[in-house]
Amino acid sequence: MKKLALLVLSLVAAVTVSNAQVCALKSNALTIAVGSVNLGAEFSVAPQWTVDVSGTAVIANPWKNLKVNGWDAVLEGRYYFCRAFNGHHVGGFVQAARYGETDFPNGDKSINDKVLGLGVSYGYYLKLNTFWGLDLNAGAGVGYELENNNGLRFLPRLQASFSYKF
């Protein structure tokens, strides 16, 4: 029985064509300045297309006079002009966010809210070596505030993410 199982497994392995999917784990270095942690993963789904999934959470605040909390999650599709994880890319994203109460130094406050949004992005992926890369990305979109009915909100995005491909 073991020989039969080994034979079947060997035949399946021999006739299966494997197309390696590249995955890159990423973290946005710019979020550290505001006391946030960002972690994401980008998967190649075709020679020039990738899907990026990332999330950010505020866990600490380096500025004592600014109280900020919240999280966001982003799903983005990207098209690379050369090939995935190399050079210029454009994309479209969907973002969900939950912002807590924020006290700004000038006395302004924003209140708890949930936001859903859509946007576009442009970036450049710089290969540092075989495994490491730097993804520079800027994007903008609009989001709708769900709880407070304040209408549309501008959603800027700026990233300088270090990535590790495997």
Domain of residue 158 covers 28-129+137-165
Q: Which residue has the higher pLDDT, 20 or 112?
A: 112
Contacts of 5 (CB under 8 A, 6+ apart): none
Contacts of 124 (CB under 8 A, 6+ apart): 87, 88, 89, 135, 136, 137
| 9, part of any domain | no
Identity of the residue numbered 49: W
| 22, part of any domain | no
| 20, part of any domain | no
Is the pLDDT at 141 greater than 80? The verdict is yes
* Arithmetic mean of pLDDT, 100-124: 76
| 12, part of any domain | no
pLDDT in tens, 28-82: 998 877 778 899 999 999 999 999 999 988 766 665 555 667 888 999 999 999 9
* Arithmetic mean of pLDDT, 111-130: 90
pLDDT value for 76: 97
Averaged pLDDT of the chain? 81
Give the range among 17-31, 102-116, 143-157 with minimum mean pLDDT. 102-116
Residue located via tokens 């890159």 = 24
| 19, part of any domain | no
Phi, psi at residue 11, to the nearest 5°? -65, -45
Phi, psi at residue 14, to the nearest 5°? -75, -35
Count: domains in the chain? 1
